[in-house]
Chains A and B, each alone.
Chain A
C-alpha cells in the first residue's frame, strides 16, 4: 500500500512537472483523480481492466450464474483492447443469496482494478450488495435483477438492462384478463425476493382489473414434490395458475399439475421460468403453457452472438438461462461507459475516476445492444422495451398473439 502511495505521489510530481512544462492539456489523469471525491480505479501497466460479477456459480441455481458469466465473457472478449489494456470478467460465486452478495461485494471493492459490476444476478444478492458498491463508487449494470424495489432506493450506482418485475407483472395481469379472458386466478411463488415480488404485483393488478385471485400460495423452492400444495390449489377451482419463480421449480409444478386434477388449467410463467429447459423438461405437460421473455428478436448481432456462444461453450445460447443476451449487453455497455471516462496517465497506468464512471453508466444513452436500445433513465432503468409473451406449441416457444 505504501509503495503504491509512493508511486502515486511520484506520478503526481512528474505530472505536475509535465503540466508546467508543456502547458495545459498534456495529462489530466492525476487531476481528475484528485478532483474525484472517490478517487480512481488504478490499472497498472500489464494488468487487466476488471469487470466484476456476483453470480450463483455453484448450488441449485448455478446454471444461471454460469450462463450469465459466459454471456458477459463474450462481451469482454469482443471489446478487445483499450489503449493497450485488455478487459477481464471476474465472476465471484455469491450463491444467489444476500449473505453471498454482500461478501462478494466486499471482496470486489477491495480490488482497485475492478472498475464496474455486471450484476448481481439474483435480486436478493443485489439488494445486499448495492450499499457496498455505493460507498466504493462502483457502477452496477445488472442483466437479471428485476425486483422493483432495487431502483426505488435512490441508489446512484445501481442500473439494470432488464425490465422490472413491476412492469412485467402489470403486463402479465392485463394479458391474463384482456387477452386470455381469465377471471379466476391462483398465484404461486417461491417466497424469494424475485418470485414473491412479481407474484404480489400480479395479484394486486389482477384484482384491480376485475379478476378474482382464488389462492395465493408460496412453495419452498428446490423440492421435488409439490403435489400436496397443488391439490390444495385445485380445491379452489382456478382457471389459470400464475407462477413467480424459476424454471427449476416451475417444471416440477407443471409436471405434477395433472396428478392434482389441474391438467386443464393454464400455466402462466414469468421470465424466470422461460427457457429451453422448461420446454424440454415438461414435454407434453408443458404444451400450452405461457411464459414471458427477454429474448431479443432475431437480428444480425444476435446471430453472430449465438454462433460465438455455441462455438465457445459447445452449447446453444439460451439453453441454460434466458439472460445470456442481457448479460452480453450489460458487460458491453459497461465497457463502453468505462472507456469514455478512462484516462491513461503519464506513467502508463490507466485511471478510471470513480464518480465519473458511475455518472457515465447512469448516462448510457442510445447504446444498441442485442436486447435492443439501452438508455438509462434517472433512477437506472435502462431497458426501453417491455416483455414479450410466449406460448409452448409443438415443443417450442412461439410468440403468443
Chain B
C-alpha cells in the first residue's frame, strides 16, 4: 500500500516536472534567441539606450520595492492583502505636495534673486520636511485604516477583511477626489531638483542623463529598505512583529501586545508608502487622487513575485518588476503597451516554478 502510493507519487511528480521543464526550456530558449537577435543580429539599440532602459527600470523598481514592503509586512502579520495600500501612498504624495506648495509661498528674497522662495533657497530642509509630512500623514492614515476597516473584522473569515480593504481603497480614492479635486497636479520641486536635470555622461554614441530626482529616489529608498530590515531583525519591536507573525495567541501569552504590534505594523508600512508617494511626486511630478492605484497593483505583484510575507523578497520583487517593465518589451521586440502583459507573464512563470514566489517561505497549514 505504502510502496504503491510512493510509486504513484513519483510518477505524478515526474509528469509535472516534465511540463515544468518544457515550459522553462522553451522560455529560456526564446529569451536567448531574442537576446541574440537584438544584441548581435540586428542591434537597433545602442548601449546608451540600454542604459536609459536600466535607469528607468531601477528607479521605478525602487519605488515598487518600497510599496511592496507594506503589502508584505501586513500580509506577514494578518494574512490579508491591504488593497488600500496604494491609496495610502496617494495620501503621502499629497502630503509632500502641500508642503512644497506652502514652502514655495514663503518669500526669501536675496539681492541676486528677488523672487527666491524658501523652497528653492533651502532644498535640503524642504525635501526633508516633505518626506516627514508625507510619511506622517500616510502613517496616520494607515493607523486609522487598520482601526476602522480591519480591526473590527479581525476574527471574521479571511475574505471579509479583503472585501473591506477593497472598499477602503475605493472610499479613499473618492475622498481624495472630493478633497483635492479631480485635476492632476504637478509637484513643484525645489529648483535644484527640476525634473530632467541630472548628471550627464556619455555612453556609446549618446549622452545618458541620470536625473537628480531619480538618484534621490533610488538612494533614499535603498536607505529606508536597509533601515526597515534592521528594524525587523534587530529591535524589540521587530522581534515582537516576527513573534506575532508566527503565532498570535502564543505571542500574546508571552506578553506581546498583539493589537499594538499590528497597529505599529500599519504605521510603519504606511510611512513607507508615504515616502514612496513623495518620491513618486518628486521624480515623476504627478499627483492626483488615482495616482496610487497602478503603483499599488504593481507593488502587490512585486510582493507576490518575491514571495509574499518575505521582506527581502518584496524588495527583490520590486526591483525585478521595475527592470522587467523597462527592458522586457525591447528584448521581446514588443510594444511598450504590452509591458504589463510581460510583467504578469513573468509572474505566471515564476509561480509555475516556485508557487511561493522567488524567496517565499513554504506556507504551513496553520498560516494558510
Contact = CB atoms under 8 A, between A and B. Distances in A.
Nearest to A233: B336
A222 B290 contact: yes
A226 B335 CA distance: 12
A261 interface: yes
Contact of B294 (A62, A66, A223, A261): A223
B45 interface: yes
A122 B169 CA distance: 26
Interface in B260-300: 280, 284-286, 290-291, 294
A148 B250 CA distance: 67
Contacts of B291: 224
Interface in B184-212: 184, 186, 195-196, 198, 206-209, 211
Given A228-B56, A228-B329, A252-B286, A222 B49 contact: no
Contact of A225 (B60, B206, B209): B60
B196 A285 contact: yes
Contacts of A223: 294
A66 B45 contact: no
B177 A231 contact: no
Contacts of B49: 231-232, 234-235
B186 A217 contact: no
Contact of B336 (A58, A228, A252, A256): A228
A62 B206 CA distance: 40
B330 A259 contact: no
Contact of A217 (B44, B327, B336): B336
Interface string B112-144: 000000000000000000000000000000000
A219 B196 contact: no
A173 B294 CA distance: 34
State which size class the interface on B falls in: 35 or more
B29 interface: no
B286 A259 contact: no
A224 B284 contact: yes
Given A220-B337, A252-B286, A261-B48, A62 B184 contact: no
Contacts of A320: 183
A187 to B, nearest CB: 12
B182 interface: yes
B182 to A, nearest CB: 4
Nearest to B284: A224
B57 interface: yes
B284 A252 contact: yes
B98 interface: no
Contacts of B211: 259
A60 B57 CA distance: 25
A280 B183 CA distance: 12
B363 to A, nearest CB: 33
B344 interface: no
Contact of A62 (B55, B177, B209, B330): B177
Contacts of A59: 290
Contact of A258 (B196, B286, B339): B196
B46 interface: yes
A255 interface: yes
Interface in A215-246: 217-220, 222-229, 231-232, 234-236
Given A58-B177, A261-B206, A228 B52 contact: yes
Given A234-B49, A235-B49, A320-B183, A228 B340 contact: no
A227 B56 contact: yes
B325 interface: yes
A261 B47 CA distance: 13
Contact of B44 (A225, A235, A285): A235
A91 to B, nearest CB: 14
Nearest to B337: A218
Interface of A: 58-60, 62-63, 66, 191, 217-220, 222-229, 231-232, 234-236, 248, 251-252, 255-256, 258-261, 263, 277, 280-281, 285, 320
Given A219-B336, A228-B52, 8 more contacts: A223-B294, A224-B284, A228-B57, A228-B329, A229-B336, A231-B49, A255-B195, A259-B196
